[in-house]
Structure 1
Amino acid sequence: MKIHKISLSSLFLIIFFTTFSISCSAQNVSTDKIEKKDKNKKKYKLPEIDLSHWSVTTPEINPKNGKVLNVEPPEILNYAKDDLLKKNMYNDSISGALVFYAYPTEGTTANTKFSRSELREQMVPGDNDKNWTFKQGGIMKGELAMGNVTKDSKGKYHKVIIMQIHGRLTNKQRDLIGQKDNNAPPVLKISWQDGKIRVKTKELKNLNATYEEMLETDAWTDDEGYTFKEDVGFGRFTLEVKVSDGKLTVSLNNNEFKVYDNIHMKKWGVFENYFKAGNYFQSTDKGSSAKVNYYKLSVSH
């Protein structure tokens, strides 16, 4: 029998590589366990919405003043921790949506009988007096979906206004016509109605009206409205509202467009405006409600 002699250095190398191999194997097993554990974890998504230039109104009553709950920046940024606010505005971390929940309550704003969970644009955070005109222009774009909505006694889904452009009187205009507040009509209302997107704008009743007469709410009336062809149902869709001097364009999924380029839009130039987005629920039926999911929302001027 032939005996092979092993040098001390060779023995050291054998021990080193054996130890290294065992260590790597253990590390690989450990890494595999971590990867499998990570795969089992739920992925949480957040909406792509910067709330620093939005206030929100919900159906809740603020116990501090007895009025409808309104939260402005910077407090709105903590909506997920606000016990009263998060009843009607909260994250769906699975789909990545900011959910706006509304139902009939006594918590309504002036000049309406309907409740809302709706954002109001603030160009200057916390200030409603700084707004924009059509001449200055603006773009609002959102990706959203109807979460769920109840039906009326005839079996039709309740209507929900999901986007608006609201007019506003300056303090000077308010005082000029002797009005008690700065309210002006909404020039644009976009609704989800039975799975379709419907648009309504304002028209001036008398095209020869004076400047002071045009500032009055009753000088304006709704147009006949327009319904986009695509049935969005309860799926995601994208809406874009683009405003320029005397012109208003609404697009659905960058595929269908409704353009308002007429005398009424030009006349509307007397007003300042602000964007709104969310869930302005158009029902007072007992037990009715709706949820609107916003995944993305942006505004530029």
Structure 2
Amino acid sequence: MLNNRREILVCIVILFLSVNAISQNQRSSVTESDLKMKKSRKKKKVKLPNIDLSNWKVTIPEGKGKGGAISVEPPAILDYAKNETLKPYMYNDSTKGAITFYAYPTSATTANTKYSRSELREQLVPGDDNFNWTFKQGGTLKAKLSVDDVSRDKSGKYHKVIILQIHGRLTNEQRDLIDQKDNNAPPVLKIYWQNGKIRVKTKKLKNTEVNSIGILHEEAWTDDEGFNFEQEVGFRKFQIEIKVTDGKLVVSLNKTEFAIYDDFNMKRWGIFENYFKAGNYFQSRDEGSFAKVSFYELEVEH
């Protein structure tokens, strides 16, 4: 009788342990499954940049020879993420929610430069370069961006990248007046990323007495001494705002530092038309050099 009781007790203990083990395995299994599903959801989460490209065209370092760089205008640029030609140079970084511009030295450059670019060019009228704006009409550009990766030169310094510009343009009448083959005029503003800091350069007249015809020639203008913002942005996100009004140009970094140009040169610059540029205008021809620039926000108002 005693032996039977013992046998029954052992069976009950074994049964309890078995049921408990199965229950724990089930709970463990459910937990692991839940974790996998959560991780899967995280992986599938895609962030896309909220940048309207309706009034921008892009130029990339792809094409045949000097001056043969490829450009894509609206409306085709709106499908940039599906464009196989653009993908190596302009693509979505869905982990950052940004458009990334990649550039390296190639033979495909634009006119009047030896450097390659993956860069946007503003078009007031989509698909047409002939409509631009003057300082009197004004304009504001706001951008949030980061320089993600840049190669170094032989001395160990990072290569320079122009990330934003205001480029001048001659009207057709001005072009014909000075017998120039194209409508190109100097860039009045260049904003550089240089060794983790932001540097601004503008144009000034070589001769302040130059007349209204002579001023149209590129040779009438030269670079100013440049301005360096104090804060270091490194490879982090930062904000740039460019505000243009009649005779005045203001550039701000992260809304805390300001470069203000309000002088005779800016007033005389009012003779030109202008357009904004944004992206990666890479300033090196070194073998193996490159740069990546990501834009999270880009907005223009006139």
Q: TM-score range by the shorter chain?
A: 0.7 to 0.9
Map 1:140-151 to 2 at 5 A: 140-151=141-152
User: Matched residues in 2 for 1:34 and 1:71: separation?
Assistant: 45
2:46 aligned partner: 44
Which ranges of 4 or more aligned residues in structure 1 deviate by more than 4 Å? 33-36
Query: How many residues get paired?
Result: 268
User: Matched residues in 1 for 2:168 and 2:200: separation?
Assistant: 16
2:63 aligned partner: 61
- Structure 1 position 197 matched with structure 2 position 198: yes
1:163 aligned partner: 164
2:179 aligned partner: 178
Secondary structure, counterpart of 1:46 in structure 2: coil
- Which 10-residue stretch deviates more, 39-48 or 72-81? 39-48
Gaps of 5+ in 2: 1-29
- Which 10-residue stretch deviates more, 40-49 or 108-117? 40-49
How far the C-alpha of 1:47 sits from its partner, in A, is 1.1
How far the C-alpha of 1:34 sits from its partner, in A, is 8.3
How far the C-alpha of 1:157 sits from its partner, in A, is 0.1
1:257 aligned partner: 258
User: Matched residues in 2 for 1:35 and 1:286: separation?
Assistant: 46
How far the C-alpha of 1:36 sits from its partner, in A, is 7.4
User: Matched residues in 2 for 1:257 and 1:39: separation?
Assistant: 44
1:277 aligned partner: 278
1:96 aligned partner: 97
1:16 aligned partner: none
2:267 aligned partner: 266
Amino acid at match of 1:48: N
How far the C-alpha of 1:40 sits from its partner, in A, is 3.3
Aligned residues: CA RMSD? 1.6
2:119 aligned partner: 118
- Structure 1 position 107 matched with structure 2 position 120: no
Residue deviations 1:158-207, cap 9 Å, x none? 00000000000000000000000000000000000000000000001111
User: Matched residues in 1 for 2:99 and 2:292: separation?
Assistant: 10
User: Matched residues in 2 for 1:181 and 1:236: separation?
Assistant: 37
Secondary structure, counterpart of 1:86 in structure 2: coil
User: Matched residues in 1 for 2:92 and 2:283: separation?
Assistant: 23
- Structure 1 position 221 matched with structure 2 position 222: yes
User: Matched residues in 2 for 1:140 and 1:260: separation?
Assistant: 16
User: Matched residues in 2 for 1:61 and 1:105: separation?
Assistant: 9
User: Matched residues in 2 for 1:48 and 1:163: separation?
Assistant: 19
1:127 aligned partner: 128
Aligned identity (percent) is: 64
User: Matched residues in 2 for 1:39 and 1:263: separation?
Assistant: 60
Gaps of 5+ in 1: 1-29
User: Matched residues in 1 for 2:239 and 2:59: separation?
Assistant: 23
User: Matched residues in 2 for 1:256 and 1:93: separation?
Assistant: 31
How far the C-alpha of 1:97 sits from its partner, in A, is 1.1
User: Matched residues in 1 for 2:276 and 2:135: separation?
Assistant: 12
Residue deviations 1:24-61, cap 9 Å, x none? xxxxxx9xx88973563122111121001000000011
Amino acid at match of 2:193: W
Residue deviations 1:72-93, cap 9 Å, x none? 0000011111111111000000
